[in-house]
Amino acid sequence: MRPTGGTGARLALGPVLAGIGAWLFFPAVGRISLIEIAAVALAPCCVFALLHLPKGRAVMATAVLWTIGLVVGQLVHPANSLVAIKAVAAAVVLALTVGLVCAVLLQHTKTGDMATAHHQLVIGFAIGQLLGMVVTPPAVSALDPWKFGLGQSATLLALVAVERLHPAARRVAVPSVLLMAAGLHLAFGDRSLALFAVLIAVASMVVSKQGHGRLLLFCVSAVGAAMLLAHLYTALAADGSLGPAEQQKVSFQNGDFGIAVGGRKDVVFLIAGALHSPLIGWGPSALVPSEVKAGAVRWLIDHGYPISSFDLVTFVRPDSLYLHSMILGSWVTGGLLALPFWLLATLLICRGLLRALRARAMAESYLLLVALWHVFLSPHGDTTRGHIAVAVALVVTGLAAHPKPKRDGREGTADGIAARGADSGSSRDSDSPDRDPTEPAQHAGRKHDADERFRPLRL
């Protein structure tokens, strides 16, 4: 039987509260979110939730490798012990947070389907980001509140609202809202959020629920849209149309490869550091010899990128590298053992993004696309940790609820749970990416039998 009354209501609110908790922080050991505090307090439950899911087990295993890589790096390149402890704790807590969000989503299957749980988590995430900017704002929000919270939250909430429209109206409303959002982001000087909005707008028009033909079209269209947006921004900023601040910024970021490299010079330094010690890395403190940074500076100058005073203060003069990329930063600090976790996260997020696009879940798609950006071009900090945990949990539980069929037509082993309780007579959401209206009845029957073998997680 399904839970009723207050219990059912609490389970239904779980995903919303989890999303909100990712953005409310407590000033302990830096800034730790409420959901991270809960993950540490409920560590055994989080581990059990991950072990309950095949992809969750992979997350746990790669997190262990990442932790070992950090310890080995610290032993080979001993430095500040407190930095090492914080780095190891960050890796462990991230994995536990993924487990906690997975557990919350799995518990929701007692009262509803996984698609609804995902939708509620995205709503909570968007509300939480807006609320967090008011209650516990990150330090960087003072520099650019639109870039570091308000812009993303506003876009997600707009997409959540548009998703409530009739499907016929959504076909026009989604790209229209996103293109308007892209213009607004550009007006506020946020190129990345504008790019995300344009990419999801293009995807909403070309990605189909089935088949791979339109997926190729989307990839080509996305590259074209990104190049066009970069050219448009550079032209507008260079002639002063976006204000003197953007004009000065682009003057320091233009070179042989455009603003794609000039806007992320820190990545050049990280790549240089990783290539100088690819196996073990440089330890959690990321202290590198001066020749590593000197080589990165020479490469930038040779390709037409000036070194500004900001670059000197941020990238060149400090003894440690500026870890403004999760995947490259983990490679630099933990060596090759740290890479599997972030490679897995990248593959999972890409798979989840495609699934969400085909399901016409545009708010979830936007959240996942921003998470993918964070993996490559954002630091492992308070404004990104919860985002990555939510994104990975969305995909892990989504794959569990909708196992991929085997080639011979028989359902593959379910990843852990049924999308709905066994006593539910409701059909799956028509927007589900795994629903095939042409599926033979006997396949559906076999799927039901497979689902019956699994039970919702009980913690």
DSSP 13-40: HHHHHHHHHTS-EE-SSS-EEHHHHHHH
Collapsing DSSP to helix, strand or coil, 366 comes out as: helix
Residue 287, phi then psi, degrees to nearest 5: -85, 120
Q: Does pLDDT of 316 surpass 70?
A: yes
User: Burial, 112: exposed, middle or buried (Cβ in 10 Å; 0-12, 13-18, 19+)?
Assistant: buried
Higher pLDDT, 32 or 111: 32
Please say if the pLDDT value at position 420 is more than 60: no
**What is the total residue count of the chain?**
459
pLDDT band at 213; cut points 50, 70, 90: low
Residue 362 corresponds to which tokens in the numbers above?
């545009």
In contact, 397 and 105? CB cutoff 8 Å = yes
What is the Cα–Cα distance from 46 to 97, expressed in whole angstroms? 7
The answer on pLDDT for 412 being more than 90 is: no
pLDDT of residue 123: 96
Burial classification of residue 192, based on how many CB atoms lie within 10 Å of its CB (0-12 exposed, 13-18 middle, 19 or more buried): middle
Q: Which of 63-77, 134-148, 325-339, 358-372 has the lowest mean pLDDT?
A: 134-148
Alpha-carbon distance of 251 to 248, in angstroms, equals: 5
If one compares 253 and 225, the residue with the highest pLDDT of the two is: 253
**Looking at residue 147, what DSSP letter applies?**
I
161-204 pLDDT, tens digit per residue, is 999 998 889 989 999 999 999 999 988 888 899 999 999 998 88
The pLDDT tens digits for 317-331 are 999 999 999 999 999
Please give the Cα distance from 316 to 297 (Å, whole number): 8
Question: Can you give 180-228 as a three-state secondary structure string?
Answer: HHHHHHHHCCCHHHHHHHHHHHHHHHHCCCCCCHHHHHHHHHHHHHHHH
Are 417 and 454 in contact, with CB atoms under 8 Å apart? yes
d(CA 370, CA 386): 12
What's residue 409's pLDDT? Answer: 45
Cβ atoms within 10 Å of 306's Cβ, excluding its own:
13
Measured distance between the N- and C-terminal CA atoms of the chain, rounded to whole angstroms:
17
* Position 438 pLDDT exceeds 80: no
Question: Of 56-70, 236-250, 427-441, where does mean pLDDT reach its minimum?
Answer: 427-441
Long-range contacts of 165-173 (CB under 8 A, 24+ apart): 167/360, 167/431, 170/360, 171/204
Mean pLDDT (whole number) for 196-215: 77
Q: What is the predicted pLDDT for the residue at 402? A: 72
- Better-scored residue on pLDDT, 214 or 102: 102
Mean local confidence (pLDDT), 263-279: 95
Could you tell me the residue ranges of all domains in the chain?
7-258+320-401, 261-316
Residue pair 292/276 in contact (Cβ under 8 Å)? The answer is yes
The pLDDT value given to residue 242:
79
| Residue 227 confidence (pLDDT) | 80
* φ, ψ of residue 405 in degrees (nearest 5): -65, 150
* The pLDDT value given to residue 167: 87
Q: Read off the pLDDT band of 240 (50, 70, 90).
A: confident
Residues 6+ apart with CB under 8 A from 73: 280, 281, 282, 283, 284, 333, 334, 335
- Is there a contact between 179 and 152 (Cβ–Cβ < 8 Å)? no
pLDDT tens digits, one per residue of 382-397: 989 999 999 999 999 9
Identify the pLDDT of residue 424.
39
- Are the C-beta atoms of residues 364 and 356 closer than 8 Å to each other? yes
Fill in the DSSP letter of residue 138: -
pLDDT higher than threshold 80 for residue 211? no
Give the pLDDT score at 297: 96
d(CA 153, CA 35): 18
Contact 70, 338 (CB under 8 A): yes
pLDDT band for 341, please (50, 70, 90 cuts).
very high
Q: Tell me, what's the pLDDT at 425? A: 39
Token readout for 379 is 């630091």
In DSSP terms, which residues pair with 33 in a beta bridge? Answer: 25
Q: Which of 9-18, 215-224, 319-328 has the lowest mean pLDDT?
A: 215-224
Q: Which residues contact 244 (CB under 8 A, 6 or more apart)?
A: none
Q: For the residues 234-263, what does the mean pLDDT come to?
A: 82
Question: What phi and psi, each to the nearest 5 degrees, are found at residue 320?
Answer: -95, 160
* Farthest CA pair distance, the chain: 68
pLDDT-derived band at 459 (thresholds 50, 70, 90) equals very low
9 has pLDDT over 70: no
pLDDT tens column, 78-132: 999 999 999 999 999 999 999 999 999 998 877 678 899 999 999 999 999 999 9
Give the pTM: 0.84
pLDDT at 85: 96
- Residue 30 CB burial class (10 angstroms; 0-12, 13-18, ≥19): exposed
pLDDT at 8: 52
CA 57 – CA 71 distance, rounded (Å): 21
Please state, for a pLDDT cut of 70, what percent of the chain lies above it: 82
Residues 6 or more apart whose Cβ sits within 8 Å of residue 92: 63, 67
pLDDT for the residue numbered 385:
95
